[in-house]
Structure 1
Amino acid sequence: MRLLAFRVQNYRNIEDSGWIQLEQVTALVGRNESGKTTLLKALHKFNPAAEEDFDGQRDFPRDRYTTDFREGKDWPACSVRFEISGQVAETLASLMPEGQPLPTSAVCTRYYDGHLTAGFEPPLIVAPVSGEPIIAALTAFGKAARRLEAPSAEQEEATKVERAALLEWSSAWKDKIKPVVDLRDPTGVSILQDLKKEADAKSGPRTADMLDTLLEVVEAALDEARKPDPSQAARNAVAKAMPVFIYFENYGILDSAVWLPRFLEDAQREPNNARIRTINAMFRHVGLSAEDLQKLGVEQASQQRRGGNPVSPEILAQDQRRKEERSIKLSSASSAITRRFGEWWSQRRHRIRYDADGDFFRIWISDDRRPDVEIELESRSKGFQWFLSFYLVFLVESDDGHRDAVLLLDEPGLNLHPTAQQELIAFFERLSERNQLIYSTHSPFLIDGDNLQRVRPVVEGDDGHSRVSAAGMWPKDRETIFPLQAAAGYAMLKGLLSQRDNILVEGMTDYYLLHALGAHCREAGLSTLPADAHVVPCGGVPMVGKLAALFLGEQARALVLLDGDKAGRDARSTLLRDLYKGHESAVLVLDDALGGEGLEIEDLVGEEVFLAGLNAALGLAITIIPEDREQGSVVKRVAAAARRSGIELPEGWKVTAVLRLVGDWAEKRSPCPQEAMERATKLFEALAARLGSDARAAPHKVASSARSA
C-alpha cells in the first residue's frame, strides 16, 4: 500500500506535526535540530523492519511526561494514511455488501502501548445483525400460542395455563432482544444461544411446529452473528498489507576489518546494531555467511600441532581444500559486488575485493586511476563508505522479503561531493520505482530543483516544537529556506547555462499546474509546453522583476507569465517601463492568452475542479453561490465563499488544493479534466508563439556571439 501522508503526535519535541503529504520521493528539509530526524524515527517505529517500539519514558514529550503520561492511557504516536489498491482493495470488495462504495484510503494509528487502529475513508458501513426478525418470529409464536388447542375438554384449564406461560415467555424474550442494537457483539450472541437452548427445551408434540418456525429464524440470526465482523476483517487485511519501514543513518557505515569471532558474538547480542546490520547485509548480498567463512578458515593442522599430535596428509589436504573453497567464494563474491555496485556508483570505477586471513575479514578497494594500489575501505572517502553501506542495506533489506518497504534516509550523502549528491537524487529515482522513499537533508544539492513539490520544510517554532510547512509553502526561517533557494537557483542556473527557454511565473501554484497540465496534454496529443521550456517559480509577484533582471544579466530575456489580477497587471506595467521596454511580447498576461478578465492561474482548472481539490485536501465543505461568483476569478470566489461561511482558510491553501489535484491526476485517482486541458492548450500555444518571436530571439543571438568570441 502506498503512503499518502503521515502525522506524528506526542513524540519528543513534536506535539502534532499535522498531516504531511508524501510523494514517491519526499525530502524533509530543515536546519540542524529542526526535527527532521525525529519525524523519520517516529515514522520508522510505526512498523519497523527490525523491532523497535515506542517507549514512553524515552519518546514522550519530557515537559508533559509527569503530568500527562500514564501507563494504560492510549496516547497516539504516529498515524499513516495509505492508499487502498491492488490485493487489499480486492479483499475489501469481497467483504463489503454489493453496491457499497469501497474505501479509497485507510488511516492507521500506532499508540504508545503498541496497539494499532485502522479507519477508512470513506468509512465502512457494516449493517448490524438486527433483532427485528426474531422479535417478529416471537410475536408470531405468541399468536400461535393463543390458538393452542386443548387435547380434550378436561385439559382445557391446563392448556389455558400453558398458553399464558408461552405468551409470557415470548414477551420476556422480546424485551431482552429489543435493546440490543447489533446481535453480532458477544452479548447478542449469548442471548441468541440462550434463546435457542430454552426453545429446544419447550419443544413438545403440540408446540413442535411453532418452535420449529421460531428456531429457524433464531438459528439463521445466530449463524450471521457468529460470522467475523467484516470491518474487523478489513482492518486485519490492511494491517497485514502495511509495508515495513527501513531506517538508515551514518552510524551504519561498514567496518572494513571484521574479526569474525567478535562479530558473531556481537551479532548474537545486538542483532539490530547499525553496523552489525550493515555487515550482515554485505554477507547476504553475495550469498556468504560469517559462520561459513570462519569454519572454512579453521586449520586443523595447527590445532593438532598445539595439542602435540601428528599432522596427517589427510588433515593437510582437508585444510587446503577448505582454504581453496573460501578463496573461490571470496573471489566470486568480489566480482559480483564490483559489478553490481558499479551499476550504481558512477563517480569512479572501483574494484572491491573481499579478503580473509584466518579469523580476520577485510575489504580492499582499488580504482581505475590506480588499479594496482589497494586501499582499506576505511581509508577511502567518507562519501564512498556511506554509499557502499547504503547500497548494501537498502538493496538487501528491500529484496529480503520487504520489496515494498518504505525507505527512510537520515541526512544521506553528507560527505559526498555536490556532483555526487546530485547523482544520489537520480539513484533515489531508481530506488523509488520499487520503494517509496523519504529522506532528510539540509544540503541544497540533495534537493531536486526541478521537483520542489517534493520538499517538506521542517522548522522549530518559538515554543521548541517542530512543525512542517504546507507543501509548496516556503517558511520564513532563513536557515530553512536557504537550501530551498539554493536548489531553485541551481536549477535555474542549469537552465541558463543550457540556454533553455525560461518562463518566469509568479509562484509554485503556476509551476505545478503548468507541468501537470503540460504532461497530460502531451499524453492526449494536444499542444503542450515546449520541450526545452524551463518554468521558474519566482516566489511571488514582487520577485518577478528581480529574477527577470538576473536573466538579463546573463544575456537571456526570460518570458514572463503573469496573472490578470491587479498585482499581475501592475507588474506588467513596471516591466514594460523598465527591463522589458521595447519587448512587449516577452510579457504575457493570462487574460490575453485565455480571453478573460482578472484571470488567475487557478482558472485553468475551473471553479468546480479547484473547489473539489480544496475541500478534499483540507476536509472542508465550501460551496459557491451566485453572489460569490461576482467576485471574479476562481480564487476570489472561493475566498468569498469561505468568508461567508465563517471558514478561515489556512496559509498556502491555494498550493495545497493544486497539489491535491495534480497528485490525483498523476496517480490516476481522478482524470485530468478535458476542459482544463483545452484551456491549458490555448495558454501553451500562446507561450510557444511568444518564445519563438523575434522580440525574444535577439538576446539569445547576443549570448551565442559572446560564446563564440
Structure 2
Amino acid sequence: MAAFVGRNESGKTTLLKALHKFNPGIEDPYRPQREFPRERFMRDFRKPGDWAVCAVEFELSPTFRVELSQRLNVSPPTLVICTRYYDGAMKCSYQASISDQPIPTTELAMALDTFAKAARRLVTPSFDREMQTQQLRTELSAWAVAKKDILVPIRDLKSEPGIAILNQLRAEANLKMNPLAGDIVSQLINAIDDILGKASSRPVQSQLEAAIIAELPVFIYFENYGILESAIYLPRFLEDFAKHPNEPRTRTIHALFKHVGLNPQEISELGGGEAALARNRGDRVTDEMIRRDQERKELRSLKLNSASLSITDGFADWFGQRRYRIRYDADGDYFRIWVSDDKRPGVEIELESRSKGFQWFFSFYLVFLFESDEGHKNAVLLLDEPGLNLHPTAQQKLISFFDRLSENNTLLYSTHSPFLIDPKNLHRVSPVFEDETGHSRVVSDGWPADRETTFALQAAAGYNVMQALFRSPKNVLVEDIGHHIYLQILAVLCRAAGFDAIPEDVQVTACGGTRLMAPIAALFATAETQTLVLLDDGEGARRRTPLNPSALLQHAGSGVLTVSEAIGATHVDIEDVFGEGVIVPMVAELLGQDFVLEDADRRQGALVDQIVASATRQQILLPDGWRADVARRVAYVWQTRWPEEIPPEVLERAQILFRAINARLGIDLFNLVL
C-alpha cells in the first residue's frame, strides 16, 4: 500500500488515471488529444504508436519465474518494465537480454547420416531388380551426403537461411518417396518436421513478453464521482451506458447489475404490463394478459430478492463492520436501493440518505469486485481522494480498512488529508508536487521543500503526538522521523520472524529533533502516560544537540534509554542495529555514486560518525536530512521482503533493543503471549 500526498492540482489524479489506463479492468484507452502535453501536441505528436504514455516496473515472483523457465527454457528476468503506448500497444524490456537458444545443425546432420546408412541397406524385392535397387541406394545416399555438406556454413537453423534449407530439404525428400524407400524417407521427413517446428516457433522474447502481459494485474480507478444514488431511471441508464460506458457513475451502476447477474434491460421489460397498455388503448383486458403480467412481476421480484440476498451477504463479509441489509427494488422504470442495519432492522433508508462514508464503501465495493473479477487477476486499486466526506476519526479507520484490502491487492491512494496518512508507516508516503516548470514530480525518497505539500505530513505527525498523548498508555519518544521509521520496520519484521518486538499498542513518537524531546516529554508527563525516551549515543549524536539529561529524567516516566545501553555496545546509534552492510549501500544510492568505508573511517565510533568521516575524506557533501532519507529507503526496500531475507544479525540486535525497551516500560511479553 502507498499514499500519494500533495495539494490540489499537484498531479495526483493524473498519476492515478495514467496507471489505471495502463491495464484497466474494463477497456479505457488513452486519448492523445486530451492527455498528450498540450504545449507539444502540434509540434511533436504524429503517430500514437510513437509515444509511450506509462511505464511500470514489475518484479516477477519466484514461482512465476520457475514456470517461465520450464515453459520457455530460458532464464527469465527478475525485473521487467512494461510500457503502454498511445495506440494501446504494450512492450516489455528487461535488464538482461533474452534471446532464443540457437538450433545447431547437429541433429539434422545425424538424421541425414541415418537416412544415408538406411539407403545403402535397402533390400531388393527380387533378384531381377537388384540393379535398379542398387541405383536407388547410390542415388539416395549421395543426395543425403550432398545435403549434409550444404549445412556446413549454417550456425543456427532458427534463422531465415536455416528455415529456408529445412523447407528445401523437406520438399526434396518428399520427391524421393517410392515403394522401396518409403519408410526411410518418412522417417527423415518426420525428423525435418520436428526441427522445422522448433526453428519456426515464435521467438522466445515474444513468448516471454506475451506470458508476462497475460499475468499483469488490472488497475481499478475509483473516485467520489462514481458514488451511486438510490434511484436509477433504467431507460436513461441504458442510453448513457451505450454512449458513455466509462463515465464514473454509469460505470458503477453497470457494476451494480453485473455483480449480481441482473440485466437492467430485462428488469425494465419485466416491469411492463400488457393489461395496463390494453386498458390505455381502450382494448379488452384478457385473463391471459393478467396471467402473463403476474408471471413477469413474480420473476422480477424473485430476481431482485435473490440479488438482494447475494449483495447483502457479500458486502457484510467484505465490510466487516455493522451488519447491513441491502434490498434491491424496482417500480416501473425505476430501480431503487434500500438499506437497513442491525440496530434498526425494520427501518429501510434510501442509499443516498445513508452516510457519505457508507455510500463510498458500497460503490467502491461494487466497482472493485466486478472489475477485478472481469480481469481474472489480482487488482491494483487506485483510489482518488477517498473518504473526503468522512469525519477525521472515520478517515483514520479507513487506513485500517485499506490495510485489509492490501493483503490481497496492491493499493495506491491519493490524499491531502493528514488523517489519511498512517504515522506508523510514513515510508509508504510519496509526496507529489508541482516543480518550477509546472510539471508534477513524485518523491519516493525524501520530502520536497514545498511547504504546502508537506503540510499534510506535518499535520499527521502532530496528530500522532496528540493520539499518543491521550490514547496510548505506553510511549517511546525518539529523536526524529528516521528513528521512528527504523523502529517501526524493525518491529514489523521481528514479529513476522518470531522475534521479540515492542507490542503494537506502544506508540512511537518522533519529536522533530533532540532539542524538542524534553518539552514533549514534559507534555506527556502531564497526561500521566508511561513514557520512555530513546536516544542515540554516538559521538556525533552528542555533538549535534547537547541534551539536558536532568530535564528528560524529570519528565520521562520510564527514564532515558540509549541505544548503546540497550544493545550493550559503546557509542552507537540506531543505524548500528542495521550495520554497515545495510546502511552504507543505501547512502551510496542516495548520493548516486560509489560510497565505501575504509578502516580509518571505521575507527571513528558509531556508524553515522564513520559515514560522516568517509564523506569528509572523499569531499562529499551529505545532504540535509540524509539520515531520514536513508531510513525511508531501507523501509521502502524491506517492506516487501520476507523475514528470512533479512540478515539474522539485524533481527537479533533489534530483539535485544526491543527487550530493553519493553523492560523499561514494564512489558512482560511472555504474559502478553499467554
Alignment TM class, shorter chain as reference: 0.7 to 0.9
- Distance across 2 between alignment mates of 1:183 and 1:546: 78
What corresponds to 1:431 in structure 2?
405
The answer for the alignment partner of 1:10 in structure 2 is none
Deviates more, 1:229-238 or 1:643-652: 643-652
Alignment-derived partner of residue 600 in structure 1: 573
Gaps of 5+ in 1: 1-24, 141-162, 203-213, 694-709
The alpha-carbon distance between structure 1 residues 173 and 648, as it changes in their structure 2 partners (threshold 3 A), is farther
Please say if 1:313 is aligned against 2:287: yes
The equivalent residue for 2:214 is 240
Give the one of 60, 63, 81 matched to 1:84. Answer: 60
Residue 534 of structure 1 is matched in structure 2 by 507
Distance 1:304 1:489 in 2: 70
Match of 2:461 in 1: 488
Q: CA deviation at 1:130?
A: 7.1
Q: Hey, what's the Cα distance between the residues in 2 that align with 1:464 and 1:339? A: 48
- The range that moved more, 576-585 or 420-429, is 576-585
Query: Structure 2 matches for 1:378-393, cutoff 5 A?
Result: 378-393=352-367
Tell me, in whole angstroms, the C-alpha distance in 1 between the residues paired with 2:516 and 2:236: 60
2:479 maps to 1:506: yes
Of 534, 543, 567, the residue aligned with 1:561 is: 534
Are residues 530 and 290 of structure 1, via their aligned partners in 2, closer, same or farther at CA, if it must alter by over 3 Å? closer
Contact kept in structure 2, 1:128 and 1:183, CA below 8 Å: no
- Choose from 241, 257, 260 the match for 1:267: 241
Query: Which whole-Å CA distance do the structure 1 matches of 2:341 and 2:210 have between them?
Result: 51
- The correspondence for 2:553, drawn from 577, 580, 583, is 580
Cross-structure match for 2:634: 658
**3-state DSSP of counterpart to 2:57:** strand
CA separation in 1, counterparts of 2:592 and 2:170? 48
Aligned to 1:457: 431
Taking structure 1 as reference, are residues 116 and 461 closer, same or farther at Cα in structure 2, changes over 3 Å only? Answer: same
In the other structure, the counterpart of 1:515 is: 488
- Quick one: distance in 2 between partners of 1:583 and 1:286? 58
Match of 1:285 in 2: 259
**Cα distance change on mapping 1:280 and 1:523 into 2, 3 Å:** closer
2:275 aligned residue: 301
Match of 1:268, as an amino acid? A
Number of the residue aligned with 2:19: 43
Matched, 1:466 2:459: no
Cα separation, 2, equivalents of 1:95 and 1:416: 50
Aligned residue runs from structure 1 range 124-273, under 5 A: 125-126=98-99, 128-129=101-102, 184-186=158-160, 189-190=163-164, 224-273=198-247
Output the CA distance in 2 between the equivalents of 1:300 and 1:660.
65
- Shift in Å at residue 570 of structure 1? 4.8
Q: 1:322 is matched with which residue: 296, 319, 322?
A: 296
What is the letter of the counterpart of residue 304 of structure 2?
A: L
Relative distance call for 1:582 and 1:339 in structure 2 (3 A) is closer
Distance 2:427 2:583 in 1: 18
Matched ranges for 1:56-75 at <5 A: 56-71=32-47, 74-75=50-51
Work out the CA distance in 1 between the residues paired with 2:6 and 2:491.
Answer: 31
One-letter identity of the residue aligned with 2:523: L
Task: Give 2:9's match in structure 1, choosing from 15, 23, 33.
Answer: 33
Return the TM-score normalized by structure 2.
0.80
CA contact (8 A) 2:222 2:364 kept: yes
Please give the secondary structure, in 2, of the residue aligned with 1:288: coil
Unaligned stretches of 5+ in structure 2? 114-141, 177-187, 668-674
Matched pairs, number = 637
Q: CA deviation at 1:408?
A: 0.8
1:620-659 aligned at under 5 Å gives the runs 622-635=595-608, 637=610, 653-659=629-635
- Larger CA deviation: 549-558 vs 78-87: 549-558
CA contact (8 A) 1:129 1:221 kept: no
Q: Structure 1: how far apart are the matches of 2:511 and 2:460?
A: 13
What amino acid does structure 2 have at the position aligned with 1:600?
D
Contact 1:407 1:437 in 2 (8 A): yes
In structure 2, the CA distance between the partners of 1:191 and 1:556, relative to structure 1 (3 Å rule), is: same
The answer to whether the Cα contact below 8 Å between 2:423 and 2:460 also exists between their aligned partners in 1 is yes
SS in 1 for 2:553: coil
State the partner residue of 2:126. none
Counterparts of 1:332 and 1:584 in 2: how far apart (Å)? 60
Asked whether the equivalents of residues 20 and 219 of structure 2 are also in contact (C-alpha less than 8 Å), the reply is yes
Provide, for residues 573-595 of structure 1, a one-character-per-residue CA deviation record: whole Å limited to 9, x for no partner: 42315343596972222233334
Deviation at residue 28 of structure 1 after TM alignment: 1.0
What does 1:657-696 correspond to in 2, within 5 Å? 657-665=633-641, 667=642, 671-692=645-666
Contact 2:427–2:636 (CA under 8 A) maintained in structure 1: no
1:112 counterpart residue number: 86
The range that moved more, 46-55 or 112-121, is 112-121
Deviates more, 1:572-581 or 1:637-646: 637-646
**Structure 1 SS opposite 2:547:** helix
The one-letter amino acid of 2:567's match is L
8 Å CA contact 2:580, 2:607 repeated in 1: yes
Q: Conserved in 2, the CA contact under 8 Å of 1:604 and 1:679? A: yes
Contact persistence 2:567–2:657 (CA under 8 A): yes
Question: Which one of the candidate residues 53, 64, 67 is aligned to 2:29?
Answer: 53
Distance 1:643 1:195, change over 3 A: farther
Mapped to 1, the partners of 2:666 and 2:307 lie a distance apart of: 56
CA RMSD of aligned residues (A): 4.6
The verdict on how the C-alpha distance between 1:583 and 1:258 changes in structure 2, with shifts beyond 3 A counting, is closer
Letter in 2 for 1:419: T
Aligned letter for 1:43? L
Cα distance in 1 for partners of 2:647, 2:77 equals: 23
- The Cα shift of 1:503 comes to 1.2
Which AA in structure 2 matches 1:565? G
Whether the aligned pair in 1 keeps the contact of 2:396 and 2:420 (CA below 8 Å) is yes
**Which residue does 1:144 correspond to in 2?**
none
What amino acid sits opposite 1:76 in the alignment? A
| Normalised TM-score (structure 1) | 0.76
Q: 1:426 to 1:174 in 2, by over 3 A?
A: same
Question: What do residues 167-192 of structure 1 show as CA deviations (whole Å, max 9, x unaligned)?
Answer: 9x9999877x58xxx66354664476
Please say if residues 49 and 89 of structure 2, whose CA atoms lie closer than 8 Å, have aligned partners that are also in contact. Answer: no
Helix, strand or coil: the match of 2:533? Answer: strand
Return closer, same or farther for 1:403/1:234 CA change in 2, 3 Å cut-off: closer
Change (3 A) 1:531 1:113: closer
Preserved contact between residue 403 and residue 434 of structure 1 (Cα < 8 Å): no
Distance 1:283 1:93 in 2: 42
- Paired residue type of 1:438: L
Report if aligned partners of 1:614, 1:657 keep a CA contact under 8 Å in 2: no
The answer on whether the counterparts of 2:552 and 2:560 sit within 8 Å (CA) in structure 1 is: no
Q: Any residues of structure 2 matched to 1:360-371 within 5 Å, and which?
A: 360-365=334-339
Query: Does the 8 A contact of 2:477 with 2:517 survive in 1?
Result: yes
Provide the residue aligned with 1:698 in structure 2. none
Q: Contact 1:512–1:658 (CA<8 Å) still a contact in 2?
A: no
Whichever residue aligns with residue 240 of structure 2, its letter is D
